[in-house]
Every structure is written in structure tokens, then in C-alpha cells.
Amino acid sequence: MGVIYRVHCEKCGVEFEHQAGVGFVYACVGCGDVSDERAPFFCPACNQRYNPQDKDFIYKLKDVILWD
């Protein structure tokens, strides 16, 4: 089970996906980061940091997909 964040980078404008595990550690297929749904991740083009724990994170997302 996991979550896929679709993000439109506020800094460089690139759209990318980041996959994370829900409740366990999971390696993102796109960037290779090993994380859970609370861990920060970075834009692959400009390294802008995105932290799901930030209050305004939800406003930076284009889409969120939960998968089993």
C-alpha cells in the first residue's frame, strides 16, 4: 500500500510523481528515494524540497493517488 504524489513544482514548473509507502518504507520507482509518506522529497529538476508534514503541502499537489 502506498501513495503517489503528483506535484507541479512551484520553483521550476516541472510536473513529477513521487511514490511513498503508507506505514512502511518504500523506494520510489522514479527517483529511488527510500521513504514513507511523511518523509521529505525533492523535485528531480531543481531539487526544490517538498515535505508532506508542512501545513501548506496539500496546496502544492496536483493529485494524490492511494494504491494497494
Q: Which amino acid is at 42?
A: F
pLDDT digits (tens), the chain, 68 positions: 788 999 999 999 999 999 888 877 788 888 888 888 888 999 999 999 999 999 999 998 999 988 77
What are the boundaries of each domain within the chain?
2-67
- In single-letter form, the type of residue at position 6 comes to R
The reported pLDDT for the residue numbered 13 is: 94
Q: What is the pLDDT of residue 37?
A: 85
Query: Which pLDDT does position 38 carry in this prediction?
Result: 87
Question: How far is C-alpha 41 from the chain's CA centre?
Answer: 6
